[in-house]
Chain A
Amino acid sequence: MKKEIVLKPHFVRKSTHYALEDSNVPKELYSVINEKPELEDFPAPLPSKKSDYTCSVKVGNVLWLGAETGLTRYDPDAEYSFDKVLYFSADRDLKDNKVSAILPDGDGVWVKTETAVTHIELPVYSAKEVSDILLAETLKYVQRHSMVSHKYLARPGEHDSILPYGSCDNDGGFTSQFCLAEIYRYSVLKKEKGADDPETLEALKVAKRALDASVLLMYIHGRGNGFVSRTYSTADEPLPDDGLFFRRQGNKAVALDTSESRERGIVGLEVDCSAPVPDRLKYLYEEDGYTLDDIYFKCDTSSDEITLQVLNLLFAHKELGCDDPELDEFIKVTTENIVSHIIDNGFTLVDYSGEPTTWARWDEPYFNSEDGWVDAALNSAELLFYLKAVMEITGETGRWKETYDRLVYERGYADLPLEHDNRLYQISLHDGMDPAEEIMYGDHWLATASLFGLCYLEKDEELLGKYRRAFGTWRGSIEREHDAALDFLYLVACPGEEVDEERVKEWFMRANISRLAAGVSLIGRHDIPVKTLRCGYKETSTLLPQDEKFISKYDRNPLQYKNVDSGGLMCVESCYVYTLSYWMGRYFGFIREGEYE
Chain B
Amino acid sequence: MKNNIHLIGNAHLDPTWLWRWQEGCGEVLQTFRSAVDRLKEYDDFVFTCSSACYYKWVEDIDPELFAEITELVKSGRWVPVNGWWVQPDCNMPSAESFARQALYSQLYYKEKFGRICETGYNVDSFGHNAMMPKFLVNSGMRCYVMMRPDAGENPDMPEGLFWWESADDSKVLTYRIPTGYGESGKNAIGNAYKKLNNMAEESGHGMMLFYGVGNHGGGPTKGDIEYLASLKAEGYDNIKFSSPDEFFKEQFSMPLVIPVWKTELQHHASGCYSATSFIKKQNRKTENELANAEKWASLSAALFGSDSGREDFKKAWLKLCYNQFHDILCGCSIMESYEDSAAQLGYAQTIAQDKQNEALLRIAGKVDTWLDGVSDAVSCNERHHCRNLKYPRPVIVFNPLSKEVETTVRTYHPSSRVTDFEGNDVLFGNVRSSRSNDSHADTVFKVKLPAFGYALYWLWHEDSNAAPENNRSPVKAGEDTLENDKLIAKFDLTTGALVSLVTKSDGKEHIASPSLVPLLIDNSKPDTWAHGIFKFHDVLGEMKLDEIKLAEKNDVRAVMRVRYSYGKSYISEDYVLDAGSEVIRSKVRALWQEPLTMVKIPVTVTGENPEATYEIPGGFIKRKCEGYEDPALTWGDVTAGGLGVSLISDAKYSYDCIGSTLRLTVIRNSIFADHFSDRPEADFSYCDEGLQRFEYEVYPHAGKAEKSGVQKYADMLNNKPVAVPAGYHKGSLPAVKSYVSVERENVSLLSFKTCEDGSGDYIIRLQETAGTESKTAVVFNLINAGFYADFEPLEIKTFRIDSEGVVTETDFLEGVN
- Which segment of A16-24, A40-48, A242-250 sits at the interface? A40-48
A476 to chain B: closest residue by CB: B169
A39 to chain B: closest residue by CB: B784
Tell me if A193 counts as interface (CB < 8 A to partner B).
no
Tell me if B485 counts as interface (CB < 8 A to partner A).
no
B778 to chain A: closest residue by CB: A45
A541 and B788 contact, CB distance less than 8 A: yes
Count contacts on B: residues with CB < 8 A to the other chain: 40
Cβ of B777: which chain A residues have Cβ within 8 Å of it? 44-45, 81
- Which segment of B109-117, B292-300, B804-812 sits at the interface? B804-812
B255 and A49 contact, CB distance less than 8 A: no
A373 to chain B: closest residue by CB: B255
Cβ of A543: which chain B residues have Cβ within 8 Å of it? 775, 790
B803 smallest CB distance to A (angstroms): 12
B780 to chain A: closest residue by CB: A45
How many Å lie between the Cα of A541 and that of B806 in the bound state? 13
B430 smallest CB distance to A (angstroms): 35
Of A368, A503, A527, the contact of B787 (CB 8 Å cutoff):
A527
B775 and A529 contact, CB distance less than 8 A: no
Cβ of B785: which chain A residues have Cβ within 8 Å of it? 45, 526
B808 and A529 contact, CB distance less than 8 A: yes
A98 smallest CB distance to B (angstroms): 19
Cβ of B790: which chain A residues have Cβ within 8 Å of it? 541-543
Given A526-B805, A528-B787, A542-B789, the answer on whether A44 and B779 have CB atoms closer than 8 Å is yes
Cβ of A500: which chain B residues have Cβ within 8 Å of it? 773
Tell me if A329 counts as interface (CB < 8 A to partner B).
no
A527 and B806 contact, CB distance less than 8 A: no
Convert B767-796 into 0s and 1s, putting 1 for each residue whose CB lies closer than 8 angstroms to a CB of A. Answer: 000000101011101001111111010000
A422 and B260 contact, CB distance less than 8 A: yes
B785 to chain A: closest residue by CB: A526
How many Å lie between the Cα of A429 and that of B247 in the bound state? 13
Tell me if A51 counts as interface (CB < 8 A to partner B).
yes
Given A526-B806, A532-B808, the answer on whether A425 and B171 have CB atoms closer than 8 Å is yes
B742-789 with Cβ < 8 A to chain A: 743, 773, 775, 777-779, 781, 784-789
Cβ of B348: which chain A residues have Cβ within 8 Å of it? none
Tell me if A426 counts as interface (CB < 8 A to partner B).
yes
Of A42, A422, A530, the contact of B786 (CB 8 Å cutoff):
A42
B786 and A46 contact, CB distance less than 8 A: yes
Given A45-B779, A49-B805, the answer on whether A430 and B252 have CB atoms closer than 8 Å is yes
Tell me if B797 counts as interface (CB < 8 A to partner A).
yes
Given A422-B256, A425-B163, A530-B808, the answer on whether A43 and B787 have CB atoms closer than 8 Å is no
A527 and B788 contact, CB distance less than 8 A: yes
How many Å lie between the Cα of A429 and that of B254 in the bound state? 11
Of A42, A81, A541, the contact of B809 (CB 8 Å cutoff):
A541
Tell me if B799 counts as interface (CB < 8 A to partner A).
yes
Given A49-B805, A429-B142, the answer on whether A529 and B784 have CB atoms closer than 8 Å is no
A426 and B256 contact, CB distance less than 8 A: yes
How many Å lie between the Cα of A479 and that of B777 in the bound state? 19
Tell me if B173 counts as interface (CB < 8 A to partner A).
yes
A442-479 with Cβ < 8 A to chain B: 476, 479
Tell me if B253 counts as interface (CB < 8 A to partner A).
yes
How many Å lie between the Cα of A396 and that of B787 in the bound state? 56
B293 smallest CB distance to A (angstroms): 24
A76 smallest CB distance to B (angstroms): 13
B140 to chain A: closest residue by CB: A534
Tell me if A190 counts as interface (CB < 8 A to partner B).
no
Tell me if A318 counts as interface (CB < 8 A to partner B).
no
Tell me if B816 counts as interface (CB < 8 A to partner A).
no
How many Å lie between the Cα of A176 and that of B423 in the bound state? 67
Tell me if A531 counts as interface (CB < 8 A to partner B).
yes
B255 to chain A: closest residue by CB: A373
A573 smallest CB distance to B (angstroms): 25
Tell me if A257 counts as interface (CB < 8 A to partner B).
no
Convert A81-100 into 0s and 1s, putting 1 for each residue whose CB lies closer than 8 angstroms to a CB of B. Answer: 10000000000000000000
Cβ of A531: which chain B residues have Cβ within 8 Å of it? 808-810
B807 and A529 contact, CB distance less than 8 A: yes
How many Å lie between the Cα of A527 and that of B786 in the bound state? 6
Tell me if B257 counts as interface (CB < 8 A to partner A).
yes
How many Å lie between the Cα of A49 and that of B784 in the bound state? 7
Tell me if A50 counts as interface (CB < 8 A to partner B).
yes
B788 to chain A: closest residue by CB: A542
Cβ of B792: which chain A residues have Cβ within 8 Å of it? 476, 479
Tell me if A419 counts as interface (CB < 8 A to partner B).
yes
B781 and A419 contact, CB distance less than 8 A: no
How many Å lie between the Cα of A68 and that of B357 in the bound state? 41
B786 and A429 contact, CB distance less than 8 A: no
Cβ of A45: which chain B residues have Cβ within 8 Å of it? 777-779, 785-788
How many Å lie between the Cα of A368 and that of B807 in the bound state? 43
B782 smallest CB distance to A (angstroms): 10
A529 and B252 contact, CB distance less than 8 A: no
How many Å lie between the Cα of A40 and that of B805 in the bound state? 13
Question: B residues engaging A (CB < 8 A)?
Answer: 142-143, 163, 169, 171, 173, 248, 252-253, 255-258, 260, 737-738, 743, 773, 775, 777-779, 781, 784-790, 792, 797, 799, 804-810
Question: A residues engaging B (CB < 8 A)?
Answer: 40-46, 49-51, 81, 368, 373, 419, 421-422, 425-426, 429-430, 435, 476, 479, 500, 502-503, 526-532, 541-543
The 10 A-B residue pairs with the shortest CB-CB distance in the complex, in nearest-first order:
A45-B786, A531-B809, A529-B807, A542-B788, A476-B169, A429-B252, A541-B809, A542-B790, A529-B809, A541-B789
Can you report 18 residue pairs joining A to B where beta carbons are below 8 Å apart? A40-B781, A41-B781, A49-B804, A49-B805, A421-B171, A430-B252, A435-B171, A503-B773, A503-B775, A528-B807, A529-B789, A529-B807, A530-B808, A531-B808, A531-B810, A541-B787, A541-B788, A541-B797
14 extra interchain contacts, Cβ-Cβ under 8 A, other than A526-B787, A541-B809? A42-B781, A44-B786, A45-B787, A422-B171, A429-B173, A429-B248, A502-B775, A526-B785, A527-B787, A529-B789, A541-B787, A542-B775, A542-B788, A542-B790
